[in-house]
Structure 1
Amino acid sequence: MVVSRTALLAGTVLACVAVPAVAQELKIGVASEATSIDPHFHNVGQNNALRRHIFESLVFVDAAQKPYPGLAASWKAVDDTTWEFKLRPGVKFSNGQDFTARDVVYSVCRIPTVENSPSNFTIATKGIESMETPDPLTLVVKTKGPYPLMPLDMGVFGIISAQASGAGADLKFKKGGCEGLGTPPKSADFNDPAKAVGTGPYKLAEYTRGTRLALERNDGYWGAKPHWKTVVFRPITSAGPRVAALVSGDVDMIENPPIQDFDLIKKAGLTIVQGLSNRIIYVHLDQFTGPDWKTPGVKGTDGKNPFLDKRVRQAMSKAINRDAIVDRIMGGVAKPAGELLPVPLFGTSEDRKPEKYDPEGAKKLLAEAGYPNGFELTLGSPNDRYINDEKVAQAVAQMFTRVGIKTGVDSMTASTFFSRRNKYEFSAYLAGWGADTGEMSNSIVALIATQDAAPGFGNTNRGRYSNKTVDELTRKALTTIDDKEREKLLQEASKVGMEDYGIIPLHFEVTPWAFRKTITYTPRVDQYTLAYEVKPGQ
């Protein structure tokens, strides 16, 4: 006899009474596991959320992505190219060592040395020309030109201990390669609780990849002590088991409960909250123009790269019925996207509407581009990273197929996907991006700016899109102090990139969390699940 998933979960509701959490312990079922404990290894949502528990930044952001003082008690622009950060006194690392400006310098120096990073943090350190430490609690950062985003960038990466990491006494920042860095720790080293030394509200207690990650409250923490003495994160990538774990009381809270289970969860006496996120789900198309371009997954184009033709990219955008994806795949819990961030975040435009579904227009454009019979394509996608990611990829593939681009889907776990994507094994892939800074330059620099390691542009532009106008407007915005003028530049850069179909935006995720009624949680725009923001219920 075949038992439906809904019936199975319903039976769990009737048969089980939610077991209350052990006193002072919080158990969370996460939809996607962090790929490393190393705070500098992978600039991706699940890693960034985890690192905030252990490794803090100079600047914090609240649930609406508004910045406020963190390890830096204050900051100011001394002149157009100088920022001064006054660090918070009395802060200690979890091993008892004092936190000083030297640790910030070391962390910035270590970031570009991290091996095999799928998406590194040089995007946040690209503007730094020099760093000075007049005293242990003062950091002076020099930039080549005006750089208004420096405080926001200082909130993107975590600070690690220079002393615990083996920095030399002669540590000195030097653009292109620091002095006295010693032998930086490998990413795997941070799996050891004794080496995962940070200033955060929690310490790493136990880590078994694929099974559980346990945190222990840092009783020496400088800030407000978190309510929970211990926190256990359990990776439960399949939605059904994740919901079942919550209903049965195995966990107290879960990320991304599936829309189809909302009624079931509520009937079990549990709470659901949700909020619009800044995460864009998109399709990237490989637009590399070099002579050694290969066509993984592309057939029927006589070896040509069809994505170099704007008409093909536009046709593929028109082929996608975003409203249908939101309604049928996402259950209405998403918002169709016309650019890389949702209004009203900084740099967005009210007039950037989602592409209208136009399959006939798509067919016409393909014919004009020389593909009247279309071609074949394989779309790469993770199957456990974003909400309904594999289902969305399958829907997009069907829509491409209907206009003549016969498309199959190659889906896999996020860790495998990111590794293959970064080796350019997909000519087309579906992925997502959440802007750490909550403003448009972050998304443009990461996703559609021309790849350029020196300024940290294009780190996640694995479609290798390049547009000089986008780059020029973005660079100008990054050196414009006036907020209104900077926003206009970013709006124009976004418009150029979107009208050139440098990337195909699909939708913004609306993020749900579900939990027992004895706790509360405020939805975050960045989608992070932060245990220290989970409070006892009122």
Structure 2
Amino acid sequence: MFLRHVKGAAGKAARQLCGAALLTGALGLMAAAPVQAADLKIAMSSPPTSMDPHFYNLFSNINVSEHVFDTLIKLDPDSRVIPGLAESWKLLNDTTWEFKIRKGVKWHDGTELTTEDVAYALDRPATIQNSPGKFDVYTKAIVSKKVIDKYTIQLITAQPYPLMLNDLTSVFMVQKKATQGLSSDDFAQGKGMIGTGPFKFVSYARDDRVELVRNPDYWGPKPAWDKVTLRFIPNPATRLAALLSGDVQAIENVPTPDLPKVRQDPKLNFFSKISHRVIYLYFDTKRDNSPFVTTKDGQPMDKNPLKDARVRIAISTAINRQGIKDRLMEGLSEPTNNLVPATLFGYNPELKTLKYDPEAAKKMLADAGYPQGFGLTLHTPNNRYVNDERIAQTIAQNLTRIGIVTKVEGSPMATYASKGGKHEWSFGLVGWGAQTGEVSSPLRALLACQDSKKGFGTVNWGEYCNPKLDTVLEKALATVDDNERSKLLQEATAIGVLDGGIIPIHHQVTTWATIKGISYTPRTDERTYAHNFKPQ
């Protein structure tokens, strides 16, 4: 994500220097970090579905894992690459990356992190069974590993791979001794929960809370809190009530109807930042008969209209994104026709947000052979994203006006994700954050044809497949020149969006609130980290 225009040997040298400079800056932050004994309770909006940090590539899981486990490379609050457990790195040749691991980093059991653990942790995601969204999309490019010594490891790819650093921000390091032979379900009982992160695991109560204590031996900035409780309160009003009553000291995702009250309350602090998460719609584009597509009177249809790109674009044209922003989101969303915001690599400025035009949408439906419309069910989570079910209800009203009689069925994210991953829905709303800090993340996960060997389509719940998009994407993933790679990623994005592979709605603005006396550094990746809350 840095030095995008430096090529060749000069680029390699510059990357090394930049890695060293970033390390120096990170160490400076460590020295300045205050330490204060206290307890902190945070209300989170969505519970994890698994405590295994390699089981399911889901935001609510990652957000909890990051407290206990570390990655080799990290992202700063603006989604820029910085050193993590790897203190430096360099390209030895076009296909060999060498990483130096920090010396003296301790696991929570007191033993030292070594490159043997790193090699094991990078192998483990591919071994996970029955995952709805595997992490091996971030390790597929690595064809071999070479442990040079206790603190040096080389990762070899089959071809030049510019996304190595970005991918490694998403793979948590787990201890080989603690996790070998465990099932993913074992982690919920506390087995394997030994990391190198800022907090040590204490207990987990499903759908209720995770309890943590400060790791006094943490290699990075020391957390300000002795004990942290992550409480999971999906209902926005209840979450805010917990803050106002003093049951918790911080919350994420402030309810939009209460934003003015929270901003004006002298006893509270408010923080916000535009997210790299896109809220989007996906379609069943594979099956000839889709289970939740019917005639307007609820009868089965002899063919699936969602397979027609003209129908999908008609649906997009019928959505009043600006109305959603103004009336539902209280201005805290950015309507889009892109997969990432303008600040991230690969954003396509030519993809303008579609204007709300129901009459044009009706004509598109008629041209596709559906002048009378049809029936549809829109499935959505109801406890994961800001106003997720209310957004779905508004979209359903928009579609019903053009003749697509749409009803909404919401469910908790854990249930929703399980069924979505099994392709049980015909039409769904969900969100995706560009975890690696650029558009290749949603392209690979959401739009690429499903291919487990390539790690493509891991969250492609609509089973969309466009070989032209995959060809351009694969070329981009092997292109080191950043100018050329950006053009290829923009081209792949245009292919998928203009074909209605998925329909972007908006990038949400993420919000946090705390009691007076506590500050928070808001993040583009929406993460809520206890170690980023500081006493004022």
Q: Is the Cα–Cα contact under 8 Å of residues 273 and 522 in structure 2 kept in the other structure?
A: yes
What's the CA shift string for 1:110-167, capped at 9, x where partnerless?
112223222110110111111110112111111110001111111111010012223x
**1:194, distance to aligned residue in structure 2 (A):** 5.2
Q: Is the partner of 2:123 in helix, strand or coil?
A: helix
Q: Following the alignment from structure 2 to structure 1, what is the Cα–Cα distance between the partners of residues 280 and 209?
A: 30
Q: Secondary structure at the match of 1:106?
A: helix
CA contact (8 A) 2:179 2:191 kept: no
* Alignment pair present for 1:86 and 2:100: yes
CA distance in 2, matches of 1:397, 1:456: 33
Give the SS at the match of 1:198: coil
Is 2:225 aligned against 1:211? no
Q: Hey, what's the Cα distance between the residues in 2 that align with 1:464 and 1:193?
A: 35
The answer to whether 1:26 aligns with 2:46 is no
Partner of 1:19: none
1:253 to 247, 250, 258: 250
Measure, in 2, the Cα distance between the counterparts of 1:423 and 1:259: 32
Aligned-partner residue type, residue 286 of structure 1: D
Is residue 450 of structure 2 the alignment partner of residue 451 of structure 1? yes
Measure the CA separation in 2 of the matches of 1:192 and 1:215: 14
| 1:297 match | 292
* Cα distance in 1 for residues equivalent to 2:212 and 2:88: 29
- The 5 Å alignment of 1:233-248 reads 233-248=230-245
- Match in the other structure for 1:282: 280
State how far apart, in whole Å, the 1-side matches of 2:329 and 2:428 are: 19
Q: Distance in 2 between matches of 1:95 and 1:362?
A: 60
Q: Please tell me whether the aligned partners of residues 392 and 429 of structure 2 are also in contact (alpha carbons under 8 angstroms).
A: yes
Residue 361 of structure 1 and its aligned partner are, at CA, apart by 0.9
Is the CA contact 2:337–2:504 (under 8 Å) kept in the aligned structure 1? yes
The answer as to 2:123 corresponding to 1:109 is yes
Equivalent positions of 1:41-120 (< 5 A) are 41-120=55-134
C-alpha separation in 1, matches of 2:142 and 2:388: 36
Conserved 8 A contact 2:48-2:207: no
1:176 aligns with: none
Query: What is residue 192 of structure 1 aligned with on the other side?
Result: 189
Output the amino acid matched with 2:291: P
Q: How far, CA to CA, are the matches of 1:504 and 1:235 in structure 2?
A: 29
Match of 1:441 in 2: 440
Instruction: Report deviation, 1:102.
Output: 1.2
Q: Which residue of 2 aligns with 1:482?
A: 481
Taking the aligned partners of 2:192 and 2:56, their CA distance within structure 1 comes to 18
Q: CA deviation at 1:475?
A: 0.6
* Pairing 1:489-528 to 2, within 5 Å after superposition: 489-528=488-527
Sequence identity (%): 46
Q: Distance in 2 between matches of 1:217 and 1:188?
A: 25
Q: List aligned pairs for 1:130-169, cutoff 5 A.
A: 130-166=144-180
Instruction: Name the residue aligned to 1:224.
Output: 221
Could you tell me the TM-score, scaled by structure 2's length?
Answer: 0.91
- Where 1:119 maps in the other structure, the secondary structure is coil
> Take 1:147 and 1:388, find their aligned partners in 2: how far apart are those partners?
38
SS of equivalent residue, structure 1 residue 328 = helix
Please say if residues 295 and 303 of structure 1, whose CA atoms lie closer than 8 Å, have aligned partners that are also in contact. Answer: no
**Aligned-residue offset at 1:327:** 0.8
Q: Which amino acid aligns with 2:124?
A: R
1:46-66 CA-partner distances (Å, limit 9, x unpaired): 211211111100001110011
Question: How far 1:350 moved relative to its partner?
Answer: 2.2
Residue 175 of structure 2 aligns to a residue in which SS?
coil
2:408 corresponds to 1:370:
no
**Counterpart Cα distance in 2 of 1:262 and 1:417:** 28
Amino acid across the alignment from 2:232: P
Alignment check: 8 A CA contact 2:107 2:194 kept: yes
Q: Hey, what's the Cα distance between the residues in 2 that align with 1:88 and 1:247?
A: 42
Provide the C-alpha distance between the structure 1 equivalents of 2:277 and 2:418, rounded to a whole number of angstroms. 21
More helix by share: 2
C-alpha separation in 2, matches of 1:205 and 1:380: 36
CA positional deviation for 1:523: 1.0
SS at match of 1:443: helix
Aligned to 2:31: none
Q: Return the TM-score normalized by structure 1.
A: 0.90
Measured in 2, the distance between the counterparts of 1:346 and 1:86 equals 26
Q: Could you tell me whether the CA contact under 8 Å between 2:196 and 2:218 is conserved in 1? A: yes
Backbone CA RMSD of aligned residues: 1.3
Q: Distance in 1 between matches of 2:349 and 2:446?
A: 21
1:444-486 deviation digits (Å, cap 9, x = unpaired): 0011111111110010111111112211111111111111111
1:390-401 correspondence runs (5 A): 390-401=389-400
5+ residue gaps in structure 2?
1-35
What amino acid does structure 2 have at the position aligned with 1:229? Answer: D
In the TM superposition, residue 32 of structure 1 has moved relative to its aligned partner by: 0.7
1:302–1:208 CA distance, 2 compared to 1 (3 A) = closer
Contact 1:75/1:151, CA 8 A, preserved across alignment: no
Shift in alpha-carbon separation, 1:40–1:374, aligned structure 2, 3 A: same
CA positional deviation for 1:495: 1.2
Q: How many residues align?
A: 496
Structure 1 segment 34-45 matched on structure 2, within 5 A: 34-45=48-59
Aligned to 2:27: none
Change (3 A) 1:241 1:268: farther
Hey, which bits of structure 1, 4+ residues long, moved more than 6 A?
A: none
